[in-house]
Structure 1
């Protein structure tokens, strides 16, 4: 048996920690628990509010047109419902066409610069939507909005994955998606007030909706430029590059703890190579997650667009329908955090996605049944609220589940772009689910949504069964045995709570270095 050197780090009166080594430089956990908590708290207070604000702005600008419908937007611009649906498809098409190129730019220049620029760009486009006056201008502005928004969501997700450990990811992803959820709900509530400005300056209410929400996004771009760290490697302000956001000690702690959790995050290149694309596209499990998102987001995006109109058809006043359509979206926020906590705390990735899908599917069953009632306005409205509560959060939970199968930052960046592309491809087909010949009860639309979600649920069950079988297979193998799934099987076999102290053998020059966790087994 060869001799092994064991390297450990003593931390005052703390327990000793194992060491992992990447290349020639040892990574030593040389800080106290209190220091790490303090640094992570500061990171949370900087990164999370800013990224969440950006997602909030994106959702305001993307979704405000759905609220404008209740203020005679279609009649004023001169378009039909089916033409409106085509405009929504153009938004999603613009995102899909430029999603991966946008993410490649972000990977090269850093999230601080790129996400800040994007916020300014889609804020400007959103503002200029106020001056559209025909079908052509509607199509062009929706397409431009899609192009300028593309890459923002996967860019935000990738940024989170570089700053946090795998165990911390699900909760932060859900906080990030809080911006989306809060934006959906707030947009409808704000629209109720802003749309009453019809006649101010001789303009319709929807004119002021676009101007005010787009202007808010542009102002938020300055916050991004001042406070969002440029990148994991260069955590400086984009507008004030000489201002340090974190102290050198905090940077050391934040970087090292992430690399101890996943050394592959230190392998960053200036660009993403062709090999990374081949690796991602040949990874069949990624395509299952892609289908899950495709099935969840098509019905959800379509329903969110027409929720105020559907509520109005129950007999509620047109503008008040925006406020009523916000209720379920506000309730979904604490519910989604509850699902995220279960996913994180109990390592129930697949279970929470399947549960969310089941509840979402049940919502469309309710809508299909209740809209047939001659009266029963309360029951019809309950169906809308239920669908809104459970319609969104399966997507971010699926993203976290997917990210755990990624082996390095390149694959993770591309996977984030792929999954968000799936969400926006869903928007392309979803935009045509609710059509004028199916209103006001939308029997066909609700039936189609039920079928799509049933297929998505089947995909989630299949993926969960795959994880369960691999865990079982790995658990039966002797320590150190190879598996057909390589490193990925090991990731699935170990719950997040066991990732950090897991014994690791790594190469350091010509001499192996073994963590303290393996000392007794050699």
Structure 2
């Protein structure tokens, strides 16, 4: 007897004309699902992480160029350099929502592929800049061309994976960012020694080689990155199926069983979705959490090699030394994401990450009073800050995603979180200023204050979550074959709840019961 899933048809309202039909049918074996999911992991995750890796190379390689006399060669001051970093973030913020509306309409396959070509080209041509005008223009253009890539990647993950799997994949996606931050410094250590080749400075080759690698990655996306369940083809090979019809059926249905709202993805984002998103105060809290975490982190990443160099280490060697903590954040981030997923501790892991991040700036501020002979202790403060500086952001995004009630709201919420992170780059670019170097005592104190405020917001949101779950009680718990609640909190496959009236379940108010026959 084939497996069949029966669902209370009154639980969900009938789909509108512009909605894709929702079909809940389990007719595969666990082994088939494992194979299909493994194939999806091997295709999607390396490409998404590689794309993020390239984005971070192109965005952050300028921090490594500083140690190779970039400012002196181009003819700008440190404070003018900071303005360029602000323009990068401003370009992202101004075009983030339009970019994601385009992505939602044309699909991630075409849009993310195009973006890699665009920001790879801009990054390459940074090698030819001279003077303040060229510097400011290229940074602004880089921000515009990068806008939408990160939330586009996050939105892609949310459509291909169940919520139980999401935090781990989001962290893997962000490993591309973290490895890009770390590897760019090691790669730069080698490339910057090319100063003098063809009469060019080392930073010239840094931009050319890294930008060229991003363009190459764009071709990989064009040939291998699948667009969606509806269109499981790549941009350059529109008639070649990356997944078989059977695999698409399995992967799509398992996601819809986990969250029926994902099966009702509309063809475009309507006005109501903007209201549901931007009038939801909880989503704003998540946006401000990203705003607080990313400002200090962006500033520290930009000036990390310079800060290490100020301890008395050689300038180019400082790039390699500034990579140590960034590599350590990869296993640490994976540990936090495992705890977040395995024990459903969304708020707890964000709060713990914030505390560790804050402690790093307390260390750096305190260590400024140490004598120069204790540069190893001061370097420890750098490593600690880098190790815990990034992963609270993707964990917060996962927490935010689980707060959303439909794919439209989720797409806009992802944009809100990333916009918060990039607005953070606007103010973060001015945390470390020329009149505060080399100790940056004021900068570290400002970072401590900002992170403290973000920590308070995360605690408020966590308390709110606990209160809501206590009020909801068993009303949102899934119902198993035996009719008993299976536990957990917002992991569906089960019932949804209305954000505006969380005490009631939409539709007829009854729990959705899924009965699955044995699979042969």
2:384 matched to 1:390?
no
3-state SS of paired residue (1:376): helix
CA shift for structure 1 position 449: 0.3
CA shift for structure 1 position 233: 1.6
CA shift for structure 1 position 507: 7.9
2:361 matched to 1:368?
no
Pick aligned residue for 2:493 from 497, 500, 520? 500
Aligned match of 1:487: none
2:441 matched to 1:448?
no
Aligned match of 1:490: none
Aligned match of 2:405: 407
Aligned match of 1:316: 313
CA shift for structure 1 position 355: 0.3
Aligned match of 2:278: 281
**Cα distance change of structure 1 residues 331 and 265 upon mapping to structure 2, 3 Å threshold:** same
2:346 matched to 1:349?
yes
Aligned match of 1:6: none
Aligned match of 1:460: 458
Q: Is the 8 A contact 2:259 2:492 kept in 1?
A: no
2:289 matched to 1:295?
no
2:261 matched to 1:264?
yes
Q: Is the 8 A contact 1:118 1:149 kept in 2?
A: yes
**Cα distance change of structure 1 residues 281 and 503 upon mapping to structure 2, 3 Å threshold:** closer
Residues 131-158 of structure 1, C-alpha deviations (whole Å, 9 max, x = no match): 0010000000000000000000000000
**Cα distance change of structure 1 residues 35 and 60 upon mapping to structure 2, 3 Å threshold:** same
Aligned match of 1:150: 147
Distance 1:283 1:384 in 2: 37
CA shift for structure 1 position 32: 1.0
Distance 1:148 1:463 in 2: 33
Q: Is the 8 A contact 1:167 1:344 kept in 2?
A: yes
Q: What is the aligned-residue RMSD (CA, Å)? A: 2.2
Aligned match of 1:52: 49
Residues 274-302 of structure 1, C-alpha deviations (whole Å, 9 max, x = no match): 11111111100001101110000000000
Distance 2:475 2:148 in 1: 41
- List runs of 5+ in structure 1 lacking aligned partners: 1-8, 481-492
Distance 2:235 2:452 in 1: 45
Q: Is the 8 A contact 1:20 1:27 kept in 2?
A: no
3-state SS of paired residue (2:130): coil
* Alignment size in residue pairs: 490
Distance 2:343 2:515 in 1: 24
Q: Is the 8 A contact 1:328 1:386 kept in 2?
A: yes
Aligned match of 1:255: 252
**Cα distance change of structure 1 residues 244 and 517 upon mapping to structure 2, 3 Å threshold:** closer
CA shift for structure 1 position 499: 2.9
CA shift for structure 1 position 213: 0.1
Pick aligned residue for 1:436 from 429, 434, 437? 434
- List runs of 5+ in structure 2 lacking aligned partners: 15-20, 479-486, 498-504
Aligned match of 1:4: none
CA shift for structure 1 position 503: 11
Distance 1:350 1:513 in 2: 26
CA shift for structure 1 position 232: 2.8
Q: Is the 8 A contact 2:91 2:144 kept in 1?
A: yes
Residues 34-77 of structure 1, C-alpha deviations (whole Å, 9 max, x = no match): 11111000000001001111000000000000000000000000
2:103 matched to 1:112?
no
Aligned match of 1:306: 303
